[in-house]
Amino acid sequence: MKVVSHIHELKDMIKQHQKKQHSIGFVPTMGFLHEGHLTLAKEARDQNDIVVMSIFVNPLQFGPNEDFESYPRDMERDQRLAKETGVDILFTPDVKEMYKDEPSITMTVQKRTDVLCGKKRPGHFDGVVTVLTKLFHLVAPTNVYFGLKDAQQVAVIDAMIKDFFFDLHLVSVPTVREEDGLAKSSRNVYLSETERQEAPALYRALKKGQTAVEKGEHDINRIYQLVEEEILQTSGEIDYIDIYSYPELEPLQHLTGQVIIATAVKFSRARLIDNVIFHVPESGEKHV
């Protein structure tokens, strides 16, 4: 595995692979790798000639009161894990490399942003699409990999790729879960023992909502109640439970097409998010 922190080095390497017509799988991360990232890298490994991973804590996607400075970093461990997972090129630029000057042109996300977690993080997705535009141009990937645990991020990136005709394929990878269903997350270690026992209720609640819809329940309020009921049995505080179309993230008049049920729940020291995404056939369409 080659570790590069300068753009010109990365570009030289990419150029060599392009000459050989290699397919390039790209996994953009902010580092502090966990099993979610590694699952993305493994998928990229299986589907491409070479795998590029970037580790860049992007200041532009942190709000003024967010934790850019204290965001966890462990480059040594990350390098080891990336290498073990089969990453070929690890790109680790510093902030000056990625943002040399004050920007001349800014990007603003107008849709899919003012809901779910994005509602409380104004500007967050503007920072995400800006850094990804830069990274996509540098890495020139055939396939890019993102986890569906952050389903809103995937929805925004999907919009960006379609809007601007990026010539690449977005691979959204299902959430990796513990045996009891809890979505894997670096934040799970902050749960108390009791909370850890309660936490699988989030996924259970979401699946209960999904099952109800699949069995024919089409009253959104009723589904909302079913999900809420289950989560209320934990000691967590519900931040939101939302049901939208996916990936448009728009309110649903009718429960058809691709649907997301998503939730965020605050425990004492950790805020957990989870979601389920599933297809609801039109009436007339057959259930599969």
Nearer to its own copies, 111 or 207 (CB): 111
Question: In the β-sheet with 2-4, what is the strand arrangement from edge to edge?
Answer: 2-4, 89-91, 50-55, 24-29, 143-147, 169-173
216 is in an annotated binding site: no
Q: What's the rounded Cα separation, in Å, for the pair 82 and 86? A: 6
Query: Judged by CB under 8 A, which of 46, 66, 108, 266 binds its own copies?
Result: 108
30 is in an annotated binding site: yes
The answer to whether 137 contacts its own copies (rule: CB under 8 A) is: yes
* In the complex, least distance from residue 207 CB atom to its own copies, rounded to whole angstroms: 30
111 touching its own copies, by CB under 8 A: yes
From residue 95, give the alpha-carbon distance in Å to each of 31, 39, 58, 112, 120.
Answer: 14, 26, 7, 27, 25
* Closest distance to its own copies from the beta carbon of 29 (Å): 18
Least Å distance between CB 134 and its own copies?
A: 5
Give the integer Cα–Cα distance in Å for 113 and 108.
10
151: contact with its own copies by CB under 8 A: no
Tokens of 200: 């699988």
95 in a known ligand binding site: no
Closest CB to its own copies among residues 157, 265: 157
Q: Which stretch binds its own copies (CB under 8 A): 25-33, 46-54, 131-139, 228-236?
A: 131-139
Q: Which residue has the tokens 């004492």?
A: 268
Q: Of the listed 6, 8, 17, 37, which one is catalytic?
A: 37
The residue to which tokens 């990937």 are assigned: 141
Whole-angstrom distance, CA of residue 12 vs CA of residue 187:
37
Taking the complex as a whole, the smallest distance from the CB of residue 111 to its own copies amounts, in Å, to 4
Return the residue of 53, 156, 183, 262 that touches its own copies, per CB under 8 A: 156
Say whether 37 is catalytic. yes
Q: Which of 110, 192, 194, 235 binds its own copies (CB under 8 A)?
A: 110
34 marked ligand binding residue: yes
Amino acid found at 98:
M
Evaluate whether 288 touches 278 at the Cβ level (below 8 Å). Answer: no
Contact predicate 281/256, CB 8 Å: yes
Burial bucket for residue 218 (CB in 10 Å: 0-12, 13-18, 19+): middle
Q: Per rule CB under 8 A, is residue 21 in the interface with its own copies?
A: yes
Q: Hey, which residues between 74 and 103 contact its own copies (CB under 8 A)?
A: 100-103
Q: Cis peptide before 72, with omega less than 30 degrees from 0? A: no
In the block, tokens 């601007």 appear at 164
Residue 42 marked in a binding site: no
Residue with tokens 């979505």: 183
Contacts with its own copies, 160-179, as mask; x by CB under 8 A: x-xxxxxx------------
Which residues does the annotation mark as catalytic? 37
Instruction: List residues near its own copies by CB under 8 A.
Output: 7, 11, 19, 21, 100-112, 129, 133-134, 137-138, 140, 156, 159-160, 162-167
